[in-house]
Amino acid sequence: MRIAETVTFGGSGLDRAAALRGDPAKLRDLLAAGRVLPVWRGKPLCDGGDKLGWVPADSPVLAGAAAPLFLGLDNGQGVFACDTSHWSPEAGAAGVEQGFLDTSEQHHPSLDDRFAFLELRSVMAALSPRDAELAATAKALLHWHRSHGFCASCGAASDLAQGGWQRMCPACGASHFPRTDPVVIMLITHGNSVLVGRNANWPEGMYSLLAGFVEPGEALEAAVRREVLEESGIHVGAVRYLASQPWPFPASLMFGCAGEATTDAITLDPEELEDALWVTREEMVAVMAGRHPRIKPARRGAIAHFLIANWLADRLD
């Protein structure tokens, strides 16, 4: 797919400067002259609703936080991310909301009111490609460190290494690296229609493409066929890869694929889907425009929205 890298979180060409990760002195110099993205409980600091909120390394926002992680070089300047989840908003400040999308905002007292910690899903489509890639990288990497603080080999507490791109066990010497989980998401068509489904936990009326995790020892094409059959009872023939999207919720890599259904009778797995249906191209135009009486589109910025929009525009080549 020629426009694959225009998907949200992809294609900014960030220089990750991996050769610098093992040079502590160079990283200290880059941090002193660079900028840091604070991330509070998975929510990046934003400057307004369309760009990230960067701070210098000596900012009060970072007081008491763990060591920053090196994200790379942005136009030659070092960029880092820091977990500020230890900070507690002042009494009366908005707390994290429960549900599909957290729309609350948290404002740090040392910053101007235009700065706020925001749920990445709510701003991802408005960010520049570079900011989106940096936010996705920071969110996924910080989540890995929070959930992998102990050695999987011996159970001892591990130490951050390589600028945040590795954890080392001081007890047994094992090395651990950030995890990314492969997921297939499928644009399954049958004639003039596309297959969509919905999870019971989603907002009312929201439908999206079917998706599922790739299992060990499984090819992407096989995962597409298995997941569609398990969830909807639909058999799929030819499968081809279209585009990928880093999806830091918390740490997946979405492989967008197109598949041709060889059957059309739907048999739901109620543990996976609340509903699934075939939507014609004409109906989907109304869905994407927000004019359909029953179906709401996939969230803008998600690869499902990207694939459907480009299917409608006949740009999957």
112-127 pLDDT, tens digit each: 999 999 999 999 999 9
164-197 per-position pLDDT tens digit: 999 999 999 999 999 999 999 999 999 999 999 9
Per-residue pLDDT band for 227 (boundaries 50, 70, 90) equals very high
- Rounded to whole angstroms, the Cα distance separating 128 from 68 reads 23
pLDDT single digits (tens) 250-281: 999 999 999 999 999 999 999 999 999 999 99
Distance (Å, whole) CA 24 – CA 160? 12
Read off the pLDDT of each residue in 18-31 and give the average, rounded to a whole number: 98
**pLDDT(98) > 70:** no
- Cα–Cα distance for residue pair 36/70, rounded to 1 Å: 9
| Mean pLDDT, rounded, for 12-34 | 98
Write the DSSP symbol of residue 103.
-
What percent of the chain shows pLDDT beyond 90? 96
| Cβ atoms of residues 306 and 245 within 8 Å | yes
**pLDDT confidence band for 142 (50 / 70 / 90):** very high
Q: Give me the pLDDT at residue 164, please.
A: 98
CA distance 300 to 212: 20
Average pLDDT over residues 207-225: 98
Q: Residue 175: helix, strand or coil by DSSP? A: strand
Give the separation between CA 264 and CA 188, rounded to whole angstroms: 10
- d(C-alpha 64, C-alpha 88), whole Å: 12
CA angle 309, 315, 317 (to 5 degrees): 135
Q: 3-state SS of 223-275? A: HHHHHHHHHHCCCEEEEEEEEEEEECCCCEEEEEEEEEECCCCCCCCCCCCCE
Q: Are 174 and 151 in contact (CB under 8 A)?
A: yes
Residue that the structure tokens 């489904």 belong to: 197
The pLDDT confidence band at residue 99, using thresholds 50, 70 and 90, is low
| Homologous superfamily (CATH) for 181-312 | Nucleoside Triphosphate Pyrophosphohydrolase (3.90.79.10)
CA distance 288 to 153: 48
| Cα–Cα distance, 295 to 293 (Å, whole number) | 6
Domain ranges for the chain, please list them: 4-147, 148-179, 181-312
Residue 100's pLDDT band, with cuts at 50, 70 and 90, is confident
**How many residues belong to the chain?**
317
- Please give, one letter per residue, the 3-state secondary structure of 217-229: CCCHHHHHHHHHH
Q: Which of 18, 15, 17, 21 is nearest to 163 (CA)?
A: 21
| Rounded distance between C-alpha atoms, residue 212 and residue 141, angstroms | 22
What digits encode the pLDDT tens for the residues 104-114? 999 999 999 99
- Greater pLDDT, 302 or 89: 302
User: How far is residue 54's CA from residue 169's CA, in Å, rounded to a whole number?
Assistant: 32
Record the tokens describing residue 48, joined without a space. 């307004």
The sheet with strand 115-117 has its strands ordered as 69-74, 77-83, 35-40, 43-47, 115-117
Mean pLDDT to the nearest integer, 66-88: 97
At 171 the pLDDT is: 98
Residue 5 carries which DSSP code? G
Band the pLDDT of 11: cuts 50, 70, 90: confident
- Higher per-residue confidence, 46 vs 99: 46
pLDDT surpasses 50 at 92: no
Share the mean pLDDT of the chain.
Answer: 95
The confidence score (pLDDT) of residue 80 equals 98
pTM for the predicted model, two decimal places: 0.94
Rounded distance between C-alpha atoms, residue 9 and residue 124, angstroms: 8
Task: Give the per-residue pLDDT at 218.
Answer: 98
One-letter amino acid identity for 184? V
Does the pLDDT at position 90 exceed 80? no
pLDDT surpasses 90 at 6: yes
What is the average pLDDT across 9-19? 95
